[in-house]
Homo-oligomer: A and B are copies of this chain.
């Protein structure tokens, strides 16, 4: 998949936070460095930086984390069984062993990214059911930067302001789709992802947050490719791929919301400030070509991966990358 995803991402992005939930999760510095090398080899772009993450384990020691900090940008926490590749995740994110690790991360200044869903509970409520964990972590570790990844609900959008040390990402697709796009007509496996898209009111709350240019909100693409077969044959894998067209679609979203001025912060500046990183500069010039008239169409597939909104008109295109 790297042959597809890395060039597609590196073309229009200067860096990416690389998730660690591979089939064999990234839990060692060696594995992170090897994965980083693979990505760099595929990127063919000097100006692309893969920011690596580790898959949270409650067994990480302070010494290990101190060393890891030199090579990875964050540690990502997955409750067991909530999404693709989360089989080795934690059972109880607030147990003593986990708390010890968070304390070390806080001291060392390593951000904690979180797939915030409970493994059990009604599917539309799993994110909200997880919120008490965020609350507890934010209180217990006030200096730990906590990133609620890919939030999908109004409740979490509101929660973003409760603690100074809590941040959030939102995906492209959760700005655009609701559950209607997944099960409203026929089943739409290509709109199926975790957390699942929620209600129109939830989407509206995410949209408002993005269009307001909320300084604690970052674009987290969660662009996740699966083969056409894995998506379309029983039983559809969760994940949506849109790396090659994410910026173009985001431009359309912010333009329609009348706040194209907020796109730069959402896509880039907020994350650089929150993570304290300075990716090498890359300028992407987007232009509006006018949808179907402009003749731009999202490809039916990239290799054997069907992208988000394949076959649909694309109003914005990349004019120039410097």
Contacts and interface: CB of A to CB of B under 8 A. Distances in A.
A199 B124 contact: yes
Given A122-B179, A180-B122, A235 B199 contact: no
A100 interface: no
B233 A187 contact: no
Interface in A163-217: 178-180, 182-190, 192, 196, 199-200
Copies of this chain: 2
Interface string A219-245: 000000000000111111110000000
A186 B236 contact: yes
A122 B234 contact: no
B187 A192 contact: yes
Nearest to A232: B234
Interface residues of A, number: 27
B192 A183 contact: yes
- Report the 3 A-B pairs with minimum CB-CB distance, sorted nearest first: A187-B236, A186-B235, A232-B234
Given A124-B179, A186-B235, 14 more contacts: A122-B178, A122-B200, A123-B179, A123-B183, A182-B183, A183-B192, A187-B187, A187-B189, A187-B192, A188-B235, A189-B236, A190-B234, A231-B234, A233-B233
21 contacts: A122-B178, A122-B180, A123-B179, A124-B179, A124-B199, A182-B183, A183-B192, A185-B235, A186-B236, A186-B237, A186-B238, A187-B189, A187-B192, A187-B236, A187-B238, A189-B234, A189-B235, A189-B236, A231-B234, A232-B233, A233-B233
